[in-house]
Amino acid sequence: MSLYRNFLSVGGLTLLSRLAGFVRDALMAAVLGIGPTADAFNAAFRFPNLFRRLFAEGAFNTAFVPMFSTALENDGADSARDLAGRIMSWLVAAILVVTVLAEIFMPQLMLLFVPGFTDDPAKFELTVFLTRLMFPYLACMSLMAAYGAILNSLDRYFAAAFAPVLLNIVNIAVLVPLAVLTLDNPADVAFWMAMAALAGGVAQLALVYGAIRRSGFLPRFSWPRYDGDVRRFWILAIPAILAGGITQINIFVGTIIASGADGAIAIVYNADRLYQLPLGIIGIAIGTVLLPELSRHLGAGREVEARATQSQSLLLSMLFSLPATAALIAIPVPIVRVLFERGAFDALATEQVAATLVGFAVGLPAFVLIRVLQPGYFSRQDTRTPTIFAGVSVVVNIAVSLLLFPSLQHVGIALATSISAWINVACLAFFLARRGHFTLTGRELRQHGLLLFASAVMGATLYVLAARAHSIMAPGAFFAVQALALLAICTFATITYFTLVHITGAQPLGQLLARLRRR
């Protein structure tokens, strides 16, 4: 399949996952609202997810995919499968050690992760209990990510991209009866939600395991042995823990700081979920497809094709992320109100989450660009350079968060995350250009400028239309009318955007469709 068709396939399934995730989050917000129990659950759920994205999706994918793709391209299927088995044996051993240690020392870890919870012993104890319940989720998700990396390198994207949909389906199946039953004790609700997350992890692993068995590429596990390939993997993987998971590390930093204010973690979580929709559809889809694609080209010495692949990826990512950014900045309150405002989630919560969402939206293009630019280093098996940039980004995030949190609270955390992401992008882009690996031509710069102009017009259109529909979008208005009004406003603005994109020549739609059809 063509690069664009692979993006469309992964992006479409990611969209389905995010839509199901919104249903899950809306039910969760209605059940838990913004309060101590919501803070405890969200902190507990983020902890294993942080490790998953650092060790599995971050370090493993970043270090493993280029090695596996090169072995597959140059040495054949048997050699690549043997390499996968040897490296995955180390991954399993590392996950087991981390899981056992985390379960034993969870109270001490939570003191570092949510120090602000210690003022409320009941809240802190609930967080420790829920995190212990959900931490085995890390093992399921790490194995799923490893199997998914192999499938992606084989150009088989469906199972790994559909697995998150399955997680959300399992969670929704548990949340619906919880919303109907209205349990008196919020801690009981949080317990069943934690069990649902763990069950969803098992279901995802089973789905991807079945897919890799059918592909005939199931790795064989053995007692971990240290050899040249494994040594090379760890040299690449250790710095990639920081570089590949920089967004999650910055959110982790924000969680620590936010724990000092009641409700702040839940506010940041809900805003994070909203901007993660376009980031997931665009950034994750592009990152998933781009790294193995670049690795194959560079492994075979096809520098020209590698450069063209990265250029197309950058154009496609900005084509969709810039208008998404404009929408989140222009109409955050209507978006949050339609998606979340019901049950325990009131109008005040909407205003708080909307303000935080704007802070995250400022950095949305940067979060996507990191996914596009980092593979330019990782595919060349250079994890050290982006790790240095990630370290700089973390330092900036901590400094700006501490500076802004006393006055802006949760909004300051979002702004700090966005500012640090843009600094990371600037470093990545500068050194790629300096090394001669990737830089934009004058024509490409003009295209991106036109996309920015079209997005600004779209944002202005959304703002004006939402202002005219103020009475419809007011708190307490009928949900169905609000949803239809928001859909109509967004549809009109989207048509305006793509019309401008086409007539300015930034990306002729016929050319885009031709690329999607190409094999």
Residue 377 half-sphere exposure toward CB, CA atoms < 13 A:
28
Contact by Cβ (8 Å): 310, 375:
yes
**Do 381 and 450 fall into the same domain?**
no
Tallying the residues shown for the chain, one arrives at: 519
Instruction: For residues 452 and 326, give the distance between their C-alpha atoms in angstroms, rounded to a whole number.
Output: 9
Q: Which of 217-221, 407-411, 461-465 has the highest mean pLDDT?
A: 461-465
Condensed to tens digits (0 to 9), the pLDDT of residues 238-294 reads 766 665 556 566 666 666 776 666 667 778 877 887 877 777 667 666 666 666 676
**CA pseudo-torsion sign 138, 144, 147, 149:** negative
Burial class (CB in 10 A: 0-12, 13-18, 19+), 368: buried
Q: Which residues 6+ apart lie within 8 Å of 445 measured at CB?
A: none
How many domains does one find in the chain?
A: 2
If asked whether residues 510 and 416 sit together in one domain, one would say no
More confident residue, 511 or 448: 448
pLDDT over 80 (residue 337): yes
CB distance 17 to 258 below 8 Å: no
Give tens-digit pLDDT for 68-94: 877 887 777 888 888 888 888 888 888
Q: Which of 393, 424, 439 is the last residue of a domain?
A: 439
**Is the same domain home to 491 and 410?**
no
Among 414, 439, 464, residue at a domain's last position:
439
516, burial (CB in 10 Å: exposed 0-12, middle 13-18, buried 19+):
middle
Q: Is 421 helix (H, G, I), strand (E, B) or coil?
A: helix
Q: Could you tell me the sign of the dihedral formed by the alpha carbons of 196, 197, 200, 201, in that order?
A: negative
Domain that holds residue 76: 3-439
pLDDT, tens digit, for every residue of 484-519?
999 999 999 999 999 999 898 888 877 666 665 555
Asked if residue 465 and residue 416 are part of one domain, the reply reads no
Using alpha carbons, list the distances in angstroms from residue 387 to 286, 349, 403. 20, 36, 24
Q: Are residues 338 and 252 in the same domain?
A: yes
pLDDT of amino acid 395: 86
d(Cα 46, Cα 51) in Å, to the nearest integer?
9
Q: 356 and 457 share a domain?
A: no
First to last CA, the chain: 5
- Residue in 284, 378, 327 with CA at minimum distance from that of residue 490: 327
